[in-house]
Structure formats: C-alpha cells, structure tokens
Amino acid sequence: MIGVTRKTARALLSRGVNATAGSTRTHMHFKFQPDDAPAELGATEKTNMCNAIKSAIDIQLARDESTIIFGEDVKFGGVFRCTDGLMDKYGSDRVFNTPLCEQGIAGFGIGAAVAGACTIAEIQFADYIFPAFDQIVNEAAKYRYRSGNEFDCGKLTIRSPCSAVGHGAHYHSQSPEAYFAHTPGLKVCVPRSPIQAKGLLLSAFEDDNPCIVFEPKILYRAAEEQVPVGHYKIPLGKADILREGTDMTMLSWGTQVHVAREVAGIVEEELGISIEVIDLVSIAPWDRETVCNSVSKTGRCIITHEAPITCGFGAELQATITSDCFFDLEAPPARVCGLDTPFPHVHEPFYMPTKWKLIQAVKATMDA
C-alpha cells in the first residue's frame, strides 16, 4: 500500500485513476458557501465535510453498541479518511474491511440490519453501487413491504461519495440518485455541507428505513464551516430555503446548490432578478410542499443537477411542478443539467451545468 495522503485526488488512485500522470487539477466549478449552525445546536468547531461525517459515525458508534461500519478500505480510515481512527477507537469487529464486492457489502449490510444491528455500509464511489443495485432495489427497499412487516432492514444506511470531482471521468463522477428515487422503500439524500452531512447521517442511522446518503466528494475537503460538535439531526424529506426570492425558484442539491447560490447573487446584483434558492436535500421522499409553494409564489422555476438530464430527478420535479403550479406559472419550468453522455474526462467543464449555463437559462426564463 502506498503512503496515505490526505488529498482527494490521491484517493482516486485506489481505483486505478492516475491523478498524477500529467493531469492538472481543474479549478473548482463552484464557491462553497458556509452556513451558520443554529445556535440551539450548541458548541461548534471548524470542520470539513469528511470530518463532520466521521463525527457522525463516531457519535453513532459510541451511542449504540450494535453499530458496525464496513466497506472497502474502511479499516485504515477510508480512501477519503471519513473513518480515520475509528477502528483504533472501537475495534476491528465494529470498523472493518470487507472483500472487494459491492453486492456483498449491500447484502451483508441488509442481513446485519435484519438481525437488529445498526449497520453503516460504505460503497467506495457511487459509480460502483450498481453491482449492489439488485440487493438495494429488490431486497433492501422491499424487505418490510413484502414480509408484511415481519422483517425489515430499517437500520441500514449506505453512504457513498458521489458527483463531479474535476477529473473523475466516467467512474468517479456519477450522480446516480435518480435510479434510486424510482424505488419505493428507500430514502435518498444528498448533503451540501458539513453541517448537513452530519445531521443527515445521524437521521439516517436512526431512521427505521434503509437510507442512502450520497456525499459529494468534492466537498469532503473543500467545504469547511462551523459544525456543532454534539449530536443533532437534520430531518430527512425536508427541503431548505437558502435564499428567499420573488422572481424565480431555483432547485438543486449537493454541490450544485453552491452554483445556484452564486448565480442567484450574480443575477440579483447585475440584472436585479430575485431568485429563491432551494436545496432539495432529500431526493426520496422529497419535499413537494416546500417546492411547489415556492414556485407558486415566484411563478418561474429552474431545476439544476449534475446527473444527465433525461429521466434525471429534475424530470420528476418539472412534471410535478407543472401539474401542481400550472396556473401560477409564468414561464415553462426549465432544467439545466448534465448532458446525456457518460461523464467525460477532459470535457468535464463543458459537460457540467455551469453558472454560465444557469445564467443563460435565468435570462431565457425571465424573457419567456
């Protein structure tokens, strides 16, 4: 094993992506915008996202002895360092490596949850969750329903790094949330920040349904803010209104929220357009009420996500908004998304739903 570095880029080496051979790191396509932690959550500490995630897992391991966390390379701290030091603290029977086999990780996790353990399974990259698709979609999601509540795997949480990282190409960049949103029985969420990641994970651990938390890996180190040090939860299924506005609603989740926030600032300053920015947070189940109330108020809407546009989760939002807010709409709801190509390597800057594409869409929607 090569020396462990704390660079996200190096983590890609574990899957054979040579991040050092003549490649240059693309500059960040977003500006991380920290939030203030609610005062009632107590003392805070400046924390990046992977340490906030580690804190959530640490708290859970400490408060529930049945809790186990496992996956590929979890024991030495994880390729993104989200489990760093936890094996030393809790032992190799609670923080451990599995063989390199995603369907096994998911199946093993379901079984442990069925037997009553709080189970945290890590899939090293969301791009590699597909071998576990059958276990997640046919098994985890349907366990309670098909058994008439005789058995369930509600104590299972699957966490996995997702989305663009600048140079991840096809298999270190995907945002697969829409595949899972089509499956009743699962809860799926995507945090935008350290505060959110910790609070959502703690909710997922305690939630009595199988949950998938997709963690935008580009935020692991880039996102830093004052995170409450203790235990707190952020509710699943609830969207966040990050910025109030009157002319248009902009919907997003994960890293793309920061792009949307930046765009809202730019168009307000330069064009005087007031945008309400909403972080959907939860993909399944999603907060229809908050979203549709906002669009009914503003009359216009842009949905933006990194995943390909066709059948992306934006399509579900667009369809629902169109039917729920039809008589309040002043322009067709628009989508600014990834393209219908595999996620490219050198062409990543053109693939992404950039702030410039969003600004163009804002103007078109205002003019429609």
- Residues marked as catalytic: 102, 172
Residue 1 to residues 72, 76, 79, 281, Cα–Cα distance (Å):
14, 11, 12, 36
Q: How far is the CB of 201 from other proteins (least distance, A)?
A: 18
Mark the segment that binds other proteins (CB under 8 A) among 12-20, 75-83, 107-115, 304-312.
Answer: 107-115
Concatenating the DSSP letter of every residue in 102-116 gives HHHHHHHHHHHHHTT
Q: What is the Cα–Cα distance from 230 to 351, expressed in whole angstroms?
A: 39
Helix (H) or strand (E) holding 315: helix 313-324
Calculated CA dihedral for residues 238, 240, 246, 250, nearest 10 degrees: -90
Check: CB of residue 103 under 8 Å from CB of residue 59: no
Check: CB of residue 148 under 8 Å from CB of residue 281: no
Q: What is the Cα–Cα distance from 224 to 51, expressed in whole angstroms?
A: 10
Helix (H, G, I), strand (E, B) or coil at 57: helix
Q: What is the Cα–Cα distance from 205 to 118, expressed in whole angstroms?
A: 7
12 to 71, contacts with other proteins by CB under 8 A? 66, 68
Residue nearer to other proteins on the CB measure, 18 or 323: 323
Q: How far is the CB of 232 from other proteins (least distance, A)?
A: 21
Q: What is the Cα–Cα distance from 108 to 94, expressed in whole angstroms?
A: 14
**For residue 247, which of 229, 263, 225, 232 has the smallest C-alpha distance?**
263
73, 139, 206, 215: which one binds other proteins (CB under 8 A): 139
Q: How far is the CB of 141 from other proteins (least distance, A)?
A: 9
Q: How far is the CB of 292 from other proteins (least distance, A)?
A: 12
The count of chain residues that interact with other proteins, using the rule CB under 8 A, is: 49
Cis peptide before 332 (omega within 30 of 0): no
**For residue 122, which of 156, 96, 154, 160 has the smallest C-alpha distance?**
160
Per rule CB under 8 A, is residue 244 in the interface with other proteins?
no
In the stretch 168-187, what mask flags binding to other proteins with x, by CB under 8 A? ----------------xx-x
Mark the segment that binds other proteins (CB under 8 A) among 11-19, 55-63, 100-108, 351-359.
Answer: 100-108
Q: How far is the CB of 110 from other proteins (least distance, A)?
A: 5
15, 142, 221, 357: which one binds other proteins (CB under 8 A): 142
Residue nearer to other proteins on the CB measure, 34 or 285: 285
In the stretch 74-93, what mask flags binding to other proteins with x, by CB under 8 A? -------------------x
Residue nearer to other proteins on the CB measure, 209 or 294: 209
Per rule CB under 8 A, is residue 109 in the interface with other proteins?
yes
Q: How far is the CB of 137 from other proteins (least distance, A)?
A: 10
Orientation of helix 288-298 relative to helix 313-324, angle to 10°: 60
Q: How far is CA 81 from the centre of its chain?
A: 17
Q: Indicate if the alpha-carbon torsion angle 78, 84, 90, 92 is positive or negative.
A: positive
Helix (H, G, I), strand (E, B) or coil at 158: strand
Per rule CB under 8 A, is residue 220 in the interface with other proteins?
no
Residue nearer to other proteins on the CB measure, 283 or 361: 283
Under the phi-then-psi rule, with left for phi > 0, alpha for psi from -120 to 50, and beta for the rest, what region is 196? alpha
Residue nearer to other proteins on the CB measure, 104 or 344: 104
Per rule CB under 8 A, is residue 246 in the interface with other proteins?
no
In the stretch 304-343, what mask flags binding to other proteins with x, by CB under 8 A? ----------------------------------------
138, 246, 341, 360: which one binds other proteins (CB under 8 A): 138
In the stretch 285-304, what mask flags binding to other proteins with x, by CB under 8 A? x--xx---------------
Give the binding site for other proteins (CB under 8 A): 66, 68, 93-94, 96, 98-99, 101, 103-104, 106-117, 119, 131, 134-135, 138-139, 142-152, 154, 184-185, 187, 208-209, 237, 285, 288-289
